[in-house]
């Protein structure tokens, strides 16, 4: 697992040997969701709207880095 960013209440992580379409995880103490890198759609799970907004604000300008990291970890 690679943590791409960590804030006080959430983090964005990418896991090795992860399957399905390219995605990242937004995780916190009481939630976890998977988000498609290409569209930023929530694939599965839940996340509070304010945290989703903050995480996607970081993810949008880092989309290429997210995809590169996922490809490095998952071949």
Q: Using pLDDT thresholds of 50, 70 and 90, give the confidence band for residue 75.
A: confident
Domain boundaries, the chain: 2-74
pLDDT in the model for residue 36? 98
**At which residue do the structure tokens 């907004």 appear?**
53
Is residue 13 scored above 80 in pLDDT? yes
- Tens digits of per-residue pLDDT, 18-56? 989 999 999 999 999 999 999 999 999 999 999 999 999
Q: Over range 48-72, report the average pLDDT.
A: 97
Burial label for 70, CB within 10 Å (0-12, 13-18, 19+), is buried
């Amino acid at each position: 697992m690679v943590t791409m960013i960590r804030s006080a209440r959430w983090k964005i992580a990418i896991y090795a040997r992860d399957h399905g379409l390219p995605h990242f995880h937004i995780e916190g103490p009481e939630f976890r969701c998977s988000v498609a890198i290409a569209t930023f759609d929530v694939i599965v799970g839940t996340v509070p709207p304010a945290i989703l907004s903050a995480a996607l604000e970081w993810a949008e300008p880092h989309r290429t880095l997210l995809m590169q990291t996922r490809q490095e970890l998952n071949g």
